[in-house]
Amino acid sequence: MDTILSHSIDGVLDGLGMTLTFDGAVAADPVSADSIDYLVNLGKPIFSQTAAQIEENADTTYQVLRSWIALDAGNIALRNIGRVAVRTPVTWETNTPLRSEQALQTTYWYGPDFRLVERDLAPILTALAHNYHHAISKSADPRLADKLAKLSALLATMPEFLDSHGRDCAEGKWS
């Protein structure tokens, strides 16, 4: 039976360093510890229906695709803030929408290009240091101020992940 939304991907992944498997034990694993080549498990299909089945019950198609698109939008947002990670359901059923309480696993990508992730962290951690610095001075709650001071001190131990402004804020030098 021919299904909609199925197509051959032969040649699509050439040069991307990815080998696809189906129904494997893990979402993705590097081929070796110092490699950016990954073995990616796509699992079972999220959707498999004929055109006639889609026409008969379009709402199922919509709900399934909507739930997966929402999950992928979150993964895109993670990447946009510098997290090289992907969240995927632990299990799912073909033609069944994901549920809000569905168990998710996070796979972190690593390899020789981890410095790119570190570079992307600098603006995020600098913003945290800046906000903690100002919140400490304005906090009426001494417990919150103490907690934020400890977080700032932790950030100060990672100067390589902060720009100069972030280092000053984390060290309490900027006002």
pLDDT digits (tens, 9 = 90+) for 144-169: 889 888 888 888 898 888 888 888 88
Q: 103 and 33: one domain?
A: yes
User: What does residue 30 show for φ and ψ, rounded to 5 degrees?
Assistant: -70, 150
Q: 93 and 42: one domain?
A: yes
How many domains in the chain?
2
Q: Domain end: 64, 89, 112, which one? A: 112
Long-range contacts made by residues 30-38, C-beta under 8 angstroms, separation at least 24?
A: 30/110, 30/111, 34/111, 34/112, 35/111, 35/112, 36/111, 36/112, 36/113, 38/109
The mean pLDDT value for 126-148 works out to 86
Q: 29 and 86: one domain?
A: yes
Residue 114 pLDDT more than 70? no
- In the prediction, which pLDDT does 66 show? 94
Give, in order, the Cα–Cα distances in Å from 2 to each of 35, 51, 62, 65, 158: 37, 9, 19, 19, 54
Residue 175 resides in a domain: no
Distance CA 3, CA 39 (A): 25
- In the prediction, which pLDDT does 21 show? 63
- Best mean pLDDT range from 4-13, 87-96, 116-125: 87-96
- In the prediction, which pLDDT does 81 show? 72
Residue 12 resides in a domain: no
Q: 164 and 128: one domain?
A: yes
Range of the domain at 156: 115-170
Per the DSSP assignment, residues forming a β-bridge with 44 are: none
Q: 74 and 145: one domain?
A: no
Q: Hey, which bits of the chain come out as E strands?
A: 18-21, 28-30, 38-41, 85-89, 104-108
Q: 104 and 133: one domain?
A: no
18-50 pLDDT tens trace = 666 666 555 566 566 566 666 666 778 888 888
- Rg of the chain over all Cα atoms, to the nearest angstrom: 22
Q: 103 and 154: one domain?
A: no
| Token representation of residue 105 | 């696993």
Q: 36 and 65: one domain?
A: yes
Q: 94 and 135: one domain?
A: no
Q: 96 and 154: one domain?
A: no
Please state the pTM of the whole predicted model: 0.51
39-96 pLDDT tens trace = 666 778 888 888 999 999 999 999 999 999 999 998 888 877 766 778 888 888 999 9
Distance CA 94, CA 159 (A): 47
